[in-house]
Structures are given as structure tokens and as C-alpha cells.
Amino acid sequence: MAHRLAVLCLLAAAFAACAIPARADRDAVQFGSNINVAHDATVHDAVCFFCNANVDGKVEGDIVVLFGNIHLNGDAQHDVVSIFGTVTVGENVSIGQDLVSVFGAMRVGENVSVGKDMVAVFGSLRAPASVSVGGDRVVQPGWVFGFPLLLTLLVFVLVVREFRASRRRQLLRNYQIPPHP
């Protein structure tokens, strides 16, 4: 038993010694603090949780924001993704790959170029006719998600209410002395 434990410890030490540390020199990653890319600045990826990404410069990789907003006035060479936030794209902006918004609004300015797909799922899209999309333009409005959810909640509330009322009637039926008004 001790021999197996020693072998496992040596093996773990060997793997730890051979591990290559991750490097993200030009990435902007924030949690709760806004990302601001100046007009003359360039970053590789911009990833933000619970904050906003304000991009006036150039992003060579992806822009991903969860629970925050994206304001894009510069260029993004890959994907722009927002979940539970608003995407605002300025005029004459180029996006190399996809523009995606899930559970949020998307506002696109004049003469915007999207390399592949523009997707707005469970949100809204405001885009002029001058927007150029290389792939598909998909808009799934929010009511498609909200209406079935509301209907399901309503049925659940009615079932619970009727169950409680039947239990109350059963309890009062077996009660010997009438309750005080």
C-alpha cells in the first residue's frame, strides 16, 4: 500500500514539473470590472463577467461578456458574444466572424459588416438595411421563451392551489367542532 502511494506521489510530482503555465499576455479578462480598449490599443481576447466591454480599438480574438453590455466602436476580428446583456455596435464597424446575443438586445449601426452569422436569441435586434451579414441572420424573440414559461408557471400555481384546497377540505371534513368565524 505504501509503495503504491509513493508511486502516485512521484507521478503527480512529475506531471506538476512538466506542466506548462498558461500565458495570456495580450488578453483582457475581468470579473466585475469594466474592460476599456482605447482607440489606439489592441488586445487579443476580451472576456468579462458581470461587467461591460467598451471597445474603441482593435480586438484580434473574441469578445465575450456574461451579465454585462458590449459597446463596440472598433474592430473585432473574431466572435462577439453577449449573454444577458446588450450589444451596441457603432457605425462602420467590422466583425470578422459571428455576432451573438442571448437574452439581451442587439443594436447595430449603419454600414456594419458581420463575417458570418448574426444571432439574437430570446432578445431583440435593431439593425438597418445597410448591415452586411456573410451568413445567416437569426432572430428568436423573447416571448417565444417567456410565453411557455409563463403558461407552465400558471399551471403549476393552479395545481398547487387546488391541492392545498383539497387538503384543507379534507382536514375540515374530519374536524369535529366547527371553527370560530
Query: CA 46 to CA 173: how far, in whole Å?
Result: 65
Query: 68 with 97, same domain?
Result: yes
Share of the chain above pLDDT 90, in %: 45
Range 5-29 average pLDDT: 67
Residue 9 lies in a domain: no
Its domain, for residue 162, covers: 143-181
* Whole-angstrom distance, CA of residue 90 vs CA of residue 57: 12
Total number of domains constituting the chain? 2
Which pLDDT does position 22 carry in this prediction? 44
Percent of the chain topping pLDDT 70: 86
- Confirm if 83 and 102 have CB atoms less than 8 A apart: yes
- CA distance linking residue 45 with residue 52, whole number of Å: 14
Q: Average pLDDT, stretch 156-176?
A: 87
Q: Looking at the chain, how many residues does it have? A: 181
117 and 136 Cβ atoms separated by less than 8 Å: yes
Q: What is the pLDDT of residue 16?
A: 61
**Is pLDDT of 11 > 80?**
no
pLDDT on residue 3: 76
Whether residue 122 sits in one domain with residue 35: yes
pLDDT of residue 71: 94
Q: Which has the higher per-residue pLDDT, 41 or 174? A: 41
In a domain, 123, yes or no: yes
Provide the phi-psi class of 91: left if phi over 0, else alpha when psi is between -120 and 50, else beta: beta
Q: How far is CA 111 from CA 44, 127, 130, 151, in A?
A: 24, 10, 5, 40
Say if residue 102 is exposed, middle or buried (CB neighbours under 10 Å; 0-12, 13-18, 19+).
middle
What does the pLDDT average to over 73-84?
92
Residues 26 and 84 in one domain: yes
Q: Tell me the pTM.
A: 0.68
Regarding whether 159 and 89 lie in a shared domain, the answer is: no
Q: How far apart (Å, rounded) are the C-alpha atoms in residues 97 and 1? A: 55
Q: DSSP per residue over 98-117, as a string?
A: -EEEESSEEEE-TT-EESS-
Residue 47's closest CA among 73, 74, 75, 24?
A: 24
Query: Are residues 148 and 137 located together in one domain of the fold?
Result: no
Tell me, yes or no, whether 113 and 34 share the same domain. yes
**What's the confidence (pLDDT) of residue 91?**
92
4 has pLDDT over 90: no
Residues 64 and 26 in one domain: yes
pLDDT of residue 20: 56
pLDDT, mean of residues 135-161: 85
| C-alpha span between 38 and 55 (Å, rounded) | 7
